[in-house]
Amino acid sequence: MTKNIGWELYRSFLAVLSHGSLSAAARALGITQPTVGRHIAELEASFKQTLFTRSRTGLMPTEAAQTLRSYAEAMHSNAAALERAMAGQGQTTGGTVRITASEVIAVEVLPSALALLRQAHPQLIIELVATNRVQDLLQREADIAVRMTPPKQEQLIARSVGNVEVGLYARADYLSREGTPALPADLARHTLIGFDTETPFVRAASKRVPGLTRDGFSLRADSDLAQLALIRAGAGIGFCQSALAKRDTRLVRVLPEHFPFHLEAWVTMHEDLRNSPRCKVVFDALVHCLLGHTAI
């Protein structure tokens, strides 16, 4: 190598590793596909190694790329730490805070709290990422996360905000039409709403109530919001947070004695942001909001 390699080349390299193609990496980074391709070509020329080979499913990393991965990830982590450290230097609540939460929490629970937060701090800019994918706070994919599992990384500040109760619910007219299950075995003759992809939640649910598996779901969607919409439409029986079900008088709990399920709720952010006024005010607002939600 005859020159230093810029960080942007490694950034593109990691994006291709994560997303499997130049076009997907470009979309994730907000740059053009030719730019990503040029970055990969420059890296390969610098190392005199092929980093990716083409396949029917996309770009496959070579052994050389796998060797480079851990070092590039370390660079990415350090760059994210630098950004967090600088983000914490501001002494006002102005600026951008990126929040990640599950689809249902982001759409059904947080909006009212965020509206009040913006009224109190109009200089705040909130980015709300509604996704069931756990985003990496260490890599600064988000500043603050609302999660249904306790965080494991030591570098994260976490506040427990209670348990979210989940039950089986259906609309009253569906139960009038199809009958109300008296026993778990009765679910077999009902239209069940659930996930298309097996999740830890589904595996845990199936241990309590046989039949609550992917094969038992007549209506499948990996989107929590789609499932909730189907329940509200009277399409069948599905999973719903009890606090949300209480908002709709048409929804009736099914087999409550057989299916009480609780998810731990946490608000989390990186410890480097503890001195950032804008992150602290958002963190506190989310804690207050979630404590109210889990108390219902």
The residue to which tokens 């087999």 are assigned: 255
pLDDT at 87: 59
**Structure tokens belonging to residue 158:** 């976490």
CATH number for 208? 3.40.190.10
- 214 CB-near residues (< 8 Å, 6+ apart): 194, 195, 196, 197, 198, 202, 220
Count of structural domains, the chain: 3
Domain match, 190 and 251 both: yes
| pLDDT of 1 strictly over 60 | no
Pairing of strands 124-130, 58-61: unpaired
**Is 2 within the bounds of a domain?**
no
Domain match, 136 and 99 both: yes
CA atoms of 159 and 291, how far apart (whole Å): 10
232 near 108, Cβ under 8 Å?
A: no
218 near 191, Cβ under 8 Å?
A: yes
**Is 62 within the bounds of a domain?**
yes
Which amino acid makes up residue 155?
Q
**Is 49 within the bounds of a domain?**
yes
**Is 296 within the bounds of a domain?**
no
Give the pLDDT band of residue 3 (cuts 50, 70, 90).
Answer: low
Domain match, 147 and 276 both: yes
Domain match, 11 and 128 both: no
Domain match, 178 and 157 both: no
Strands (E), the chain: 52-55, 58-61, 95-101, 124-130, 144-147, 156-171, 192-194, 219-220, 237-241, 251-254, 261-270
Structural domain that includes position 133 = 95-161+264-291
| pLDDT of 293 strictly over 80 | yes
Domain match, 26 and 83 both: yes
DSSP letter string over 189-243? GS-EEE-SS--HHHHHHHHHSTT-SGGG-SEE-S-HHHHHHHHHTT--EEEEEHH
Domain match, 108 and 193 both: no
- Dump pLDDT digits (tens) for 56-108: 888 999 999 999 888 888 888 777 767 656 655 566 788 889 999 999 999 99
- Dump pLDDT digits (tens) for 109-154: 999 999 999 999 999 999 999 998 887 787 778 899 999 888 888 8
Domain match, 180 and 236 both: yes
CA atoms of 28 and 32, how far apart (whole Å): 10
227 near 239, Cβ under 8 Å?
A: yes
Domain match, 178 and 43 both: no
- Dump pLDDT digits (tens) for 34-55: 999 999 999 999 999 999 998 8
